[in-house]
Amino acid sequence: MAGNDTIFALSSGNPPAGIAVIRISGPRAADVLELLGGRIPRPRRASVMRLRDPADRSLLDETLVLSLPGPASATGEDCAELHLHGGRALVARVQQVLSRIDGLRRAEPGEFTLRAFRNGRIDLAEAEGLADLLSAETELQLRNAQALSEGVLSQRVQAWREELLGISARVETAIDFADEEDAVSLDAGFAGDCLQLAERLGEWLDAPRAEILREGYRVAIGGPPNAGKSSLFNALIEEDAAIATPIAGTTRDALHRPVALGGVPFLFVDTAGLRDETGDVIEAIGIQRAADELARADLVLWLGEPGQGPDEGWQIATKIDIEPDARAGADFRVSSATGEGIDALRKALVDQAREAMPKPGQIALHDRQAGLIARAHDALVDAGANHDLLLVAEGLRRARTAFDQLLGRTGTEDMLDALFGRFCIGK
């Protein structure tokens, strides 16, 4: 991605639409407005302009435009927006005209946000929150993404970093005044201050991870062949996604369905029936995959004999319309055919999943973020327990480097492409 180019892209939804917004960012943004509209409007004021093709002066559209000079813009560069009428032909024609202007090119996915990051308009933690915001499908995902994109984590990390700099200054002062004959020790409260900061970091590490928000609370349905797993799977997701027949071994592979229940994201997994022996090679592969899915799940709904499923799983009695007294001691008794007990099971699943999700006001960290905070935590614990001034200073430096990497101030090149590749074109 060449940073000196001027880029453009449709940043609103695909046409047809009432309005189509084309965003332009880079050194030629104002020139584009003058080429198409004959003038540069007042900054940050919506202005009506007649836009024309510079090649033959034919009318493109009469519409609102915005001139947004940098650095006080979304990307930190000169920007412009064309708020066109949202027909497909018009949007395509304007983009063709823009692509013919020297120095302009179509933006790559996430390039606007990448420029905002490189120009200091947002930090890396905020960019990760914005990526989550674009993909949020449930209320919980939305709230967490908004908190990250609005800088809640960034502000906390900056406060930790400022506190760490104060602690580090005490060490540097002790090192400066030490001589080879007289050892200089740190003040009595130094170790306690390191551990108190580490404890505050530990509280954030105890929170649920963002991955469970993004992927959903994973519920696997397991048991022997013909136990009603696929029927229960279909009943829970309210869709005939799995083939359910009286023939044992119908399900050969794991089937996944993401579903939102009560505003909570779930990933339901239907698995092949488990049995000790089978002469079918394909079924044997399905059985192994089923075992793997049960091991990965946050919760297993077990439809087999009591005591044979995972210790933390829920025992489910199915087909109670046919066998009313079957497994009377099960955690839940349901009928996928009549729907009896399904609502109660679904509600219990939502309650269980909410306990694993972030609480109000709590931020769910990405694995990358959690890993760096854990690194800073461990470095602070080491620094507080050490007595060698140089080793203490090194521990504090490692903690500070972790904070800088978390915000994207250093050591981020290896993951920028992966992050910004998650964005759509025009963002």
Mean pLDDT, to the nearest integer, of 154-167?
A: 94
> What is the mean pLDDT of the segment spanning 25-33?
96
Q: Is domain 6-122 classified as CATH 3.10.20.30?
A: no
Q: What is the pLDDT of residue 418?
A: 57
310 annotated ligand-binding residue: no
> How confident is the model at residue 424, as a pLDDT?
65
pLDDT of 168-192, one tens digit each?
888 887 777 665 545 556 777 899 9
Task: Flag whether 231 is marked binding.
Answer: yes
Q: How far apart are CA 279 and CA 268, in angstroms?
A: 28
pLDDT at 243 over 50: no
138: annotated binding-site residue? no
Please state the pTM of the whole predicted model. Answer: 0.71
User: Which residue(s) pair with 332 in the sheet?
Assistant: 316
Burial class from Cβ neighbours inside 10 Å (0-12, 13-18, 19+) for residue 149 reads: buried
Confirm whether residue 100 is marked as ligand binding: no
Which residues, other chains included, contact 86 with Cβ-Cβ below 8 Å and sequence gap of 6+? 12, 15, 16, 17, 18, 19, 20
What would the mean pLDDT of 375-398 be, rounded to a whole number? 92
427 is annotated as contributing to ligand binding: yes
278 has binding-site annotation: no
Residue 226 annotated as lining a ligand binding site: yes
Inter-residue contact 253 to 289 (CB < 8 Å): yes
Q: 181 labelled as ligand-binding? A: no
Is 248 a known ligand-binding residue?
yes
Domain borders along the chain are 6-122, 129-207+364-408, 215-356
**CATH number of this structure's domain 215-356:** 3.40.50.300
At the top level of CATH, the class of 129-207+364-408 is: mainly alpha
Is 126 assigned a ligand-binding role in the annotation?
A: no
The predicted pLDDT at position 16 comes to: 92
230 among annotated binding-site residues: yes
Under 8 Å between Cβ of 11 and 23: yes
Do the annotations mark residue 417 as ligand-binding? no
Establish whether 250 is an annotated binding residue.
yes
